Chains A and B, each alone.
Chain A
Amino acid sequence: MHWWLPLKGSTFAGDIDGLFLAILIITGIAFVVVEAGLIWFVIKYRQRPGRKAFYTHGNTRAEVIWTTIPAVTMVALGLISNHYWVRIKGRNSVPANAYPIAIHAKQFEWQVTYPGADGQLGTPDDFTVRNQLHVPVGRPVVVHLSSEDVIHSFFVPVFRVKQDAVPGMDIKAWFQATVPGQYELGCAELCGMGHYRMRAQVFVHTPEEYDAWMRQAAQEAKQ
């Protein structure tokens, strides 16, 4: 059991984890201030015989301070988050040289279509593999997501990537894997009773391994 975020397996995982940490620090400070304050007040001002509470209706300066500090912090956090959001998920964020893979989700499996030797989807050398996502390390990959029936959600925790697959829509999601290895892909949107077992293996290969796998898989697909 691991008490922190999983392995950083993509180029933007570090940014997302950094933002998570920044929010953890900001909210951690607010948490400690409020909870410690509450505990202190509970002990210090507990009822004692003869004590009378301090009669006051408030303080405008205090209100201004504790309105302004959260407001400035939140707007700043919004601006910083947006910077990363545009780079990770913005409409124009998909790198031009991204390697295309099509994923068609259906109850309860992932149909992964690879572009074949020519690197282009929609050509005769495309081939489809069920529940296995193979990607090369160090190269941006763009996934074209579609759904057969209901809404599913493409989620690879180590890549920190999540994107719903919506019937009737063609949605792109991209990532660039950084660590070769074997991981898992899961469905994150309730899609029916088999939702829990709608999973796939993710393989991040070195470029040589990837080419070798591609040739072999294309062969097997033809048979």
Chain B
Amino acid sequence: MTSVAATARVPHAHHDDRSFIRKYIFSTDHKIIGIQFLFVSLFFLLLGGLLAMQMRWQLGFPGKPMPGGGLLPETMAANGVILPEYYVQLVSMHGTFMVFFAIMPLLVGVYANFLIPLKIGAHDMAFASLFVPEGAIRSGWTNYAPLSARPDLSGVTTGQILWCVSIVVLGLSSVMGSVNYITTIINHRAPGMTWFRMPLSVWALFITAILAVLALPVLQGAAILLLFDQTIGTHFFDPVAGGQALLWQHLFWFFGHPEVYILILPAMGMVSDMIANGSRKPIFGYHSMVFAIIGIAFLGWLVWGHHMFMSGMNPTLGSSFMVSTLVIAVPSAVKVFNWMGTMWRGNLRFHVPMLNAVAFVAMFVIGGLSGIYMAATPVDMFIHDGYFIVAHLHYVLFGGSLFALFGAIPYWFPKMFGRMMSERWGKVHFWLTFVFYNFTFFPMHILGMAGHMRRIYDPTQYEFLKPYQPMNEFISVSAFLLFATQLIFFVNFWWSLFKGKKADLNPWQDNGLEWSLPSPAPHGNWETVPRVYRGPYEFSSPEVSDRDYLPQHEKRPTDREPASATAPAH
């Protein structure tokens, strides 16, 4: 089947005369599908941010009318003041949008589709891809039962059903997409592209796809059971009729923790590419980096119980989940030290992708280290379900994944659209984001240490939290500035689409196969499949003296043809 797909697609590698609709709307070109994901998920990123701004208004200025709040219907805001039921919906949909509709498709949908064939030398994906819809719940993005299972308790019927259905559809598309990524990487590598010559971004996307194939069906299964509880009167999660409330949490987190790594591994892979490029040095400890990705992915299956330390799960199980969780710090540390090793004695170019990639390392360290507090069960007893965790997860998801994306988007922008994003505005955006991001999320650690619970509509209800209101206001103002800063990114993005500087073949002087193609990369990618003679990170190689990079496809006099080039390609 795959060999048929491969041979059938070879002739497409030339002039493209498809109509606009065929090219951009119902496309079968992996690059266009990646770009579709980019536009849709950037929209959800903005929407998710907009929901967060409303939450921050309420937390910083509880009971005060929100600017523009008068436009909201009475079921959401009374005279502009956000209502508790709307607040809980904001919390739930902010999480759902950011996790499922922004970060995950940005990392996996955009970059797995766009990069894998370009980086391994394939004409296209093995199969075509699928899409996702949307849905307002009041029980958090984790949607714990029985609150989520019983409309009489949550006050939401249709929103819950829509959530379940959309999770099932999204899961289906992710699983099919992932099967596609895995097949492509296994079967469609160019001659000479051995496993250990693959860029770390492709390794990370490969391992992520395996995680997604194994994890998402569990969530889909759980969502279907939840849907049955809501609609046809089953009681899987409702203890009143013999169900088990904790079953939802086990199923959700058995998916949910691998999902956490789905949201960070591709970012790590792309950061590795950008740091090697920016440092003009080979990745330090390439093999350790690959094994660290595999190690994180494997351990990711053994830690779901750390979300349930306080749930009433047997505390002895808590002990084993604590140890497996702490051990994940080891491959994570290996990655951080190898990124530092890559920068050590380099010749660092601070282009926008490099700035964001270095910030990723600096911020991921904070998010990784703050995870240790929660892993230690006795400390977790105090900080569980509090703002310390809100800080932690945003250091990983924003400080980590989003900074990686703010690097990856301008980095591969020329290959997507044939133009460069503005470096100057990219730097302005980077520095403002870096400052306001830390102003927004770092103080949340202090709130967490004070005992501030998460997902509460009005912290001033509690006497012990009242003294922290100035800090909540500070966080809110920082968050508004952080959001405003993102407009710079969006304007830069749109402006550069039409007016950016035209990009040449290889604007970043990189070694990856994608940089041997014109910008933007044409439909079908290569006329003839490129051959690969070395690893992806041969920067500053002593083999060349006139420049500091040596592309994977460039044949040197000493290079032999790859063995697989003479055998029939699969």
Contacts and interface: CB of A to CB of B under 8 A. Distances in A.
Q: Is this pair of chains taken from one and the same complex?
A: yes
Interface string A36-59: 011001100111100111111111
A83 B373 CA distance: 16
Interface in B275-322: 279-288, 310-312, 314-316, 318-319, 322
B147 A190 contact: yes
Contact of B326 (A2, A78, A150, A191): A78
B146 interface: yes
B365 A35 contact: yes
Contacts of B378: 12, 15-16, 19, 81, 84-85, 88-89
B347 A57 contact: no
Contacts of A190: 88, 91, 139-140, 144, 147, 454-455
B444 interface: no
Nearest to B312: A171
Contacts of B471: 1
Contact of B245 (A23, A30, A166, A188): A166
Contacts of A51: 347
B147 A192 contact: yes
Interface in A165-204: 166-169, 171, 183-184, 186-197, 199
B338 interface: yes
Contact of A53 (B244, B347, B459): B347
A59 to B, nearest CB: 8
Q: Is the interface of B mostly helix, strand, loop or mixed?
A: helix
Interface string B244-259: 1110000000000000
| Secondary structure type dominating chain A contacts | mixed
Given A31-B365, A196-B84, A5 B281 contact: no
A58 B386 contact: no
B458 A27 contact: no
Interface residues of B, number: 103
A67 B334 contact: yes
B435 interface: no
Contacts of B246: 166, 169
A16 B381 contact: yes
B449 A88 contact: no
Given A58-B341, A153-B385, A163-B312, A199 B88 contact: no
Contact of A74 (B318, B327, B461): B327
B457 interface: yes
A34 B372 contact: no
A208 B68 CA distance: 56
A46 B350 CA distance: 8
Interface string B364-378: 011001101100111
B52 interface: no
Contact of A81 (B139, B288, B322): B322
B336 to A, nearest CB: 6
A23 to B, nearest CB: 5
B153 A53 contact: no
B281 A157 contact: no
Nearest to B86: A193
Interface stretch (B170-178, B411-419, B535-543, B554-562): B535-543
Contact of B540 (A23, A41, A52): A52
A166 B322 contact: no
Nearest to B378: A84
A168 B244 contact: yes
Contacts of A167: 146, 239-240, 245
Contact of B282 (A57, A77, A91): A57
Interface string B336-370: 11101101111111100000001001100110011
A82 interface: yes
Contacts of A42: 343, 348, 350, 358
B344 A45 contact: yes
Interface string A95-114: 00000000000010000000
B463 interface: yes
A140 B334 CA distance: 44
A162 interface: yes
Interface string A109-128: 00000000000000000000
B347 A63 contact: no
Given A34-B336, A66-B333, A41 B450 contact: no
B451 interface: yes
A194 to B, nearest CB: 7
Given A168-B244, A190-B140, A196-B457, A55 B281 contact: yes
A52 B548 contact: yes
B453 interface: yes
Contact of A151 (B155, B245, B323): B245
A41 B344 contact: yes
Contacts of A151: 144, 146-147, 245, 311
B133 interface: no
Nearest to B84: A193
Contact of A78 (B322, B344, B370, B548): B322
A15 to B, nearest CB: 7
A218 interface: no
B315 A85 contact: yes
A41 B326 CA distance: 28
5 closest cross-chain pairs (CB), A and B: A168-B239, A157-B451, A54-B345, A58-B285, A27-B369
Given A1-B467, A45-B344, A196-B459, 20 more contacts: A1-B471, A5-B382, A15-B378, A35-B365, A54-B281, A55-B281, A59-B285, A62-B341, A67-B288, A70-B329, A74-B326, A74-B330, A82-B322, A85-B322, A86-B319, A90-B315, A151-B147, A183-B464, A184-B464, A196-B458
17 contacts: A30-B369, A34-B336, A53-B345, A53-B347, A53-B548, A55-B541, A58-B286, A62-B285, A62-B337, A70-B334, A149-B146, A149-B153, A150-B150, A157-B464, A169-B246, A193-B88, A197-B461
